[in-house]
Structure 1
Amino acid sequence: MIALLTPEHWKDYELLDCGDFEKLERFGNVVLIRPEPQAVWSKQLPPSEWQNLADIRFQGRSATSGEWAKKNSKTPDRWHITYRNNDIEIKFRLALTSFKHVGIFPEQAVNWDFISSTIKEFSTPQPKVLNLFAYTGGASLVAKAAGADITHVDSIKQVVSWANENQELSGLKDIRWVVEDALKFVKREIKRGKTYNGIILDPPAYGHGPNGEKWKLEDQILEMMNDVANLLDPEEHFMILNTYSLGFSSVIVENLIKDSIKNPHNLETGELYLQAKTGNKLPLGVFGKIKKVRAVNK
């Protein structure tokens, strides 16, 4: 099944417009202009309106780094926003980084909704969930708030510290933080005989582990998926694979899942996108997910 999915109920985030390789976004009360390589079409709003609406604009020195230009010196470098869905409420600390990121990928809210609803369907008490390439912890926090036991793995210590700060802001505790290369961690968990009811993967196209380990998506994702398959609880589980690479399609993700996981239950694949207020859809990665819920005899 191929699907297009975008967040629908997140009031603290809004994509106002996109085009000409940029996006105009509202995070809480702060409006940003950031580069967006996939926005190859024209902007719908005139440049003057972009300028009037934006508080801050990212000015790149290269495709991945640059500086932020503020319209008003009082605009904060750091601020907080909230994600809510039913009884789940998570708070994030956002910040202006030199890599054009602010601390969250808002299109992932679709996956957060899936994670929380699936955990609540499980009959397993406090299901164990593993979040790999976990960044600042959105999926970890949502899973914890839904009642899961979370292990959060990322190779960058500063990012894991940021995730821990988000945990404290959200009034949560006891997430297990691991600073390590994701592939090495998975292999060690297999040797330990560990299993998880949920596994979340959001790997980058390229990356490095804390000890210089190299990650290249197309070279290592099949090995990772085969190892992840050995960690899934056979009776009750979910798995999400999300990729943001211009060379990856949802068909590739579908084939990867079918190749590594025997008879995947409730397989769904497709594109994540953000719906701009002006009408255009901004694609922001492809996903594949499966879900198996244990039948309970009544």
Structure 2
Amino acid sequence: MIIKTQTPADWIDYELIDSGDGMKLERFGGWRVARPEPQALWRPSLERWDANATFLKKGGSDERGEWQLDSNMPQQWMVDYKGIKMRLGLTAFKHVGIFAEQASNWDFMKERITKMAAKPQILNLFAYTGGASVAAALAGAEVTHVDSVKQVVQWARENAELSGVQGIRWIVDDALKFVQREVRRGRKYSGIILDPPSYGRGPDGEKWILEENIRELLECCRTLLEPRNSFVILNLYSMGLSALLARSLMLSLFGKADHEEMGELYFEDNFGKNLPLGVFYRMVR
């Protein structure tokens, strides 16, 4: 099943207002944020963007720079998606603490978890500030949350507390090293969420390069996944990688799925322009 998944209609605290000229204008709660988006190749529809915070690039990088703020813009604020409460903040790398397009995956996993008879074990890798971890916990799962950055894991813990969920297992570790150890321990999970970056570093300087490391990581995940009544979600953000590639990779390792979905995560701005923000593959067996 091929699905192009845009923003859920009930994402009240998020809106893509406009996009173009390598930028996007978004609303998170009551605040409007303008920041780089390299896939916005068209011209913006609005002549002027009235943003509360604008990310100004430095040195030609889309990821590094500084924020230009109006006088009322807070450094931190909160948004809510179906009980998933997230504290947002302006970071030096243009991010604000949430990938709002992931709400589609949160809905998918919550639906799967609520259909499972026993309290399922869910593994969230490259888990960032914990949107997927909180979604799974709210649906009744026991969650293991893994990220290599200690400060980001602390941020995720704050989001879990804001959302009223407890019992998440918090792990600061390199994702590949962690799953290798879990394989040796004989652990099993009913659901695995993978949101790997193109490039990253582990807590001890371990180098992560998606194209070089993803297959070994998925091979470990295949061993960790329960053979029946289980699911996997894989997100890919690297430009040039397709949903079809993700599907071929997953099926070559995990075998035939009972149900599968793949496509693009995207937002439609207020002027009808569709902004792609990554590809996904979801399988159930």
Normalized against structure 2, the TM-score is what? Answer: 0.97
Separation in structure 1 between the aligned mates of residue 91 and residue 156 of structure 2, nearest angstrom: 15
**What secondary structure, in the 3-state scheme, does the structure 1 residue paired with 2:3 have?**
strand
* 2:66 is aligned with 1:67: yes
Report 1:112-261 matches (<5 A): 112-123=106-117, 125-261=118-254
- Which of 100, 104, 119 does residue 98 from structure 2 map onto? 104
Structure 1 residue 247 displacement after superposition? 2.3
The one-letter amino acid paired with 1:17 is D
Structure 1 residue 264 displacement after superposition? 2.1
Separation in structure 1 between the aligned mates of residue 46 and residue 17 of structure 2, nearest angstrom: 9
Separation in structure 2 between the aligned mates of residue 80 and residue 272 of structure 1, nearest angstrom: 23
Separation in structure 1 between the aligned mates of residue 186 and residue 255 of structure 2, nearest angstrom: 19
The one-letter amino acid paired with 1:252 is L
**What secondary structure, in the 3-state scheme, does the structure 1 residue paired with 2:4 have?**
strand
Separation in structure 2 between the aligned mates of residue 99 and residue 220 of structure 1, nearest angstrom: 24
Q: Which residue of 2 aligns with 1:44?
A: 45
- Which of 79, 102, 110 does residue 81 from structure 1 map onto? 79
Structure 1 residue 121 displacement after superposition? 1.2
Structure 1 residue 66 displacement after superposition? 0.7
**What secondary structure, in the 3-state scheme, does the structure 1 residue paired with 2:165 have?**
coil
Separation in structure 2 between the aligned mates of residue 35 and residue 18 of structure 1, nearest angstrom: 10
Which moved further from structure 2: 18-27 or 58-67? 58-67
**What secondary structure, in the 3-state scheme, does the structure 1 residue paired with 2:43 have?**
coil
- Which of 47, 51, 69 does residue 54 from structure 1 map onto? 51
Q: Which residue of 2 aligns with 1:4?
A: 4
Separation in structure 2 between the aligned mates of residue 280 and residue 255 of structure 1, nearest angstrom: 29
Is residue 250–residue 271 contact of structure 1 (8 Å, CA) maintained in 2?
yes
**What secondary structure, in the 3-state scheme, does the structure 2 residue paired with 1:40 have?**
coil
The one-letter amino acid paired with 1:45 is L
The one-letter amino acid paired with 1:4 is K
Structure 1 residue 207 displacement after superposition? 0.5
Structure 1 residue 192 displacement after superposition? 0.6
Can you list the C-alpha shifts for 1:52-88, whole angstroms capped at 9, x where unaligned? x3111111113211111112x221010011111xxxx
Separation in structure 1 between the aligned mates of residue 53 and residue 125 of structure 2, nearest angstrom: 31
Q: Which runs of 4+ in 1 moved over 3 A?
A: none
Structure 1 residue 171 displacement after superposition? 1.0
* 2:273 is aligned with 1:280: yes
Structure 1 residue 111 displacement after superposition? 0.3
Normalized against structure 1, the TM-score is what? Answer: 0.93
Is residue 116–residue 142 contact of structure 1 (8 Å, CA) maintained in 2?
yes
**What secondary structure, in the 3-state scheme, does the structure 1 residue paired with 2:155 have?**
helix
Is residue 257–residue 264 contact of structure 1 (8 Å, CA) maintained in 2?
no
Separation in structure 1 between the aligned mates of residue 116 and residue 172 of structure 2, nearest angstrom: 28
Q: Which residue of 2 aligns with 1:20?
A: 21
**What secondary structure, in the 3-state scheme, does the structure 2 residue paired with 1:210 have?**
coil
Separation in structure 1 between the aligned mates of residue 224 and residue 203 of structure 2, nearest angstrom: 23
Structure 1 residue 277 displacement after superposition? 1.4
Is residue 180–residue 209 contact of structure 1 (8 Å, CA) maintained in 2?
yes
Structure 1 residue 265 displacement after superposition? 2.2
% identical equivalent positions: 52
**What secondary structure, in the 3-state scheme, does the structure 1 residue paired with 2:146 have?**
strand
Tell me how many residue pairs correspond in the alignment.
282
